[in-house]
Structure 1
Amino acid sequence: MLYKDIYIGQLIKERVDEKEIPMERICNFLNKDEKFIENVYTSKSLDTDLLLRWSKLLEYDFFRPYSSHLILYAPPAAVNKNQQKSEKVPYFRKNIYTQEIKEFIMKKIHSGEMTQNDVIREYSIPKSTLHRWLQKNSNNG
């Protein structure tokens, strides 16, 4: 999956087909009609409350593609050393790299599309983290 352009409705439709969930159950769970559900399948984006309900129904974290997009494509935030400790929004010190992200990065390196230094610079992945992935990859392959 490419994380650059996310069409969440398409991902939801694929998961519905995979799990073979009847339309009636979907309509009942979401308290929506069939036309609404069909419109969701063609949507590029959805309201977060609705996306959360889909995630519960289909037992899949539909927020994950967005997190992956941020890890791969968002520029690194400038760190302000004078930042106050009383922030209201939680700050996560570590990035969580999913298996899909690791595979995406490994594919770029192994195909020659990017060098290790390119990956470190482009995606702000720590050098030690990348080397650990490469080491595990060579041990498993």
Structure 2
Amino acid sequence: MSSHPVLMHTALDATDVRGLAEFYRELLGVRYRPGDETPVEGEDWLVLVDGDGRRVLAFQWVPELARPDWPRHEVPKQMHLDFRVPSAAELERHRRRAEELGATLLLDRTGDAEEPLYVLADPAGHPFCLLVGSE
């Protein structure tokens, strides 16, 4: 047993909780925790879990959300998520998938030989990175 806190999940604010949860569910190939699968009127909290049932992301309703304007800083991103893939080919495949699911490309840094990556924004505007990396 650890004597330190353990991260349960990362929670993202959203004005459309189900819509943002669906984006990440499809992008990451995860599922809703039991009880969250069926949309409910007025839902304000959803959790996604991995194949082993471990919490991955949560989504909390807020009445309004200023969309980050990265790379400017008038509305800061406040946090972002990084997702790694094993190869340049997978990087391209997952960028296309993310855009098909509603993401917007913010930065193409695939020409960087040391760490090729894309910065995208999810449908609510939260920036996230897709990069080639190892564990």
Give your verdict on TM over 0.5: no
Counting helix residues as a fraction of each chain, which structure ranks higher?
1
Q: Which has the larger radius of gyration?
A: 1
TM-score normalised by L of structure 2: 0.29
TM-score normalised by L of structure 1: 0.28
